[in-house]
């Protein structure tokens, strides 16, 4: 069996220089090397599955991610399923809503524990949403405008994959009030998330049931791939939290992006340094193919 190892740097650093490529090639005992993006990404062909940590140590390389894939798998995927909070955007929406009522620290602590798998996601979501009771619905637009920013590389991933015929879906444990807007901005073809319940223009402190959690994301993967007449192996998924683990492990390529420690430890591919364009390099896209 043979493997492709993709080395990926953060585009802002572009620190995958020629010398680093050569050291990695030697450490991997690579029989072939192909630069995907100068200073940013390169593929290495090898006949043995490498120990990523050992390779980085042996080659004295830092701030570079290594993604290992078998060559008998189709790299370019026909479906993208992406988490939203701390993945397609840089914030957690519920934390930013809580900031409007002076409870961001309290809610952020619960969010962090839920995303690291320390507490059950559904119960944690109900607890956090209850703290938002009485918040005017109009605050959501204010939060999106003032507090939410896209994760670098996200629009490029969606544009590039759509250009090559892929279906892109935003699947979030957050809220439809946010996913609808982010999906429109970034270019996702569909979105799924939870519903914040409101009455008389204010949030009730309740979330629509059933809650879209870990299993619901796996169900979304299966639903969407079945509808499109493809396999979950034809999908690439990306997320950072414990509620993403199911879909990351059930898809052909699951990518833990700047993930919580427990999630990164259980993921075959983790991106700790690169941005979302890493998803394209993992699929073998070159810099010239990326739609900017």
Is residue 272 part of the annotated active site? The answer reads: no
Tens-digit pLDDT profile for residues 81-132:
999 999 999 999 999 999 998 999 999 999 999 998 999 999 999 999 999 9
Dist. CA 194–CA 190, nearest whole Å: 14
Catalytic residue among 43, 65, 83, 240: 83
Catalytic residue among 43, 85, 244, 275: 85
Tens-digit pLDDT profile for residues 53-74:
999 999 999 999 999 999 999 9
CA dihedral sign, ordered 69, 70, 75, 80: negative
What's this model's pTM, rounded to 2 decimal places?
0.96
Dist. CA 241–CA 131, nearest whole Å: 22
Is residue 85 part of the annotated active site? The answer reads: yes
For residue 30, which of 14, 16, 15, 50 has the smallest C-alpha distance? 50
Helix axes 139-147, 176-186, angle to 10 degrees: 40
pLDDT tens per residue, the chain (292 residues)?
A: 899 999 999 999 999 999 999 999 999 999 999 999 999 999 999 999 999 999 999 999 999 999 999 999 999 999 999 999 999 999 999 999 999 989 999 999 999 999 989 999 999 999 999 999 999 999 999 999 999 999 999 999 999 999 999 999 999 999 999 999 999 999 999 999 999 999 999 999 999 999 999 999 999 999 999 999 999 999 999 999 999 999 999 999 999 999 999 999 999 999 999 999 999 999 999 999 999 9
Dist. CA 262–CA 260, nearest whole Å: 6
What pLDDT is stored for residue 1 in this prediction?
A: 85
How does DSSP classify residue 78? S
Dist. CA 192–CA 98, nearest whole Å: 22
């Amino acid at each position: 069996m043979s493997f492709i190892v993709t080395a990926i740097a953060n585009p802002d650093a572009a620190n995958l220089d020629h010398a680093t490529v050569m050291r990695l090639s030697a450490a991997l005992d690579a029989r072939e090397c192909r630069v995907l993006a100068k200073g940013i990404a390169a593929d290495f062909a090898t006949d043995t599955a490498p120990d990523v940590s050992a390779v980085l140590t042996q080659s004295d390389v830092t701030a570079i991610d290594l993604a290992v894939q078998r060559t008998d798998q189709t790299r370019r995927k026909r479906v993208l399923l992406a988490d939203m909070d701390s993945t397609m955007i840089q914030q957690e929406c519920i934390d930013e809503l809580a900031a409007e009522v002076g409870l961001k620290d309290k809610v952020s602590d619960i969010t962090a524990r839920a995303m690291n798998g320390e507490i059950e996601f559904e119960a944690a979501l109900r607890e956090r949403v209850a703290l938002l009771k009485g918040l005017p619905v109009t605050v959501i637009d204010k939060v999106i405008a003032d507090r939410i920013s896209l994760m670098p590389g996200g629009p490029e991933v969606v544009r590039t994959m759509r250009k090559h015929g892929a279906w892109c879906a935003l699947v979030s444990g957050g809220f439809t009030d946010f996913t609808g807007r982010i999906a429109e901005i970034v270019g996702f073809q569909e979105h799924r998330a939870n519903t914040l319940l409101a009455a008389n223009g204010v949030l009730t402190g309740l979330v629509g049931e059933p809650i879209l959690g870990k299993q619901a994301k796996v169900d979304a993967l299966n639903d969407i791939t079945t509808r499109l007449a493809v396999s979950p192996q034809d999908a690439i998924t990306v997320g950072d939290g414990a509620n993403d683990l199911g879909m990351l492990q059930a898809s052909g390529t699951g990518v833990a992006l700047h993930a919580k420690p427990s999630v990164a430890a259980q993921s075959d591919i983790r991106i700790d340094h690169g941005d979302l364009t890493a998803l394209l390099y993992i699929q073998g896209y070159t810099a010239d193919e990326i739609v900017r």
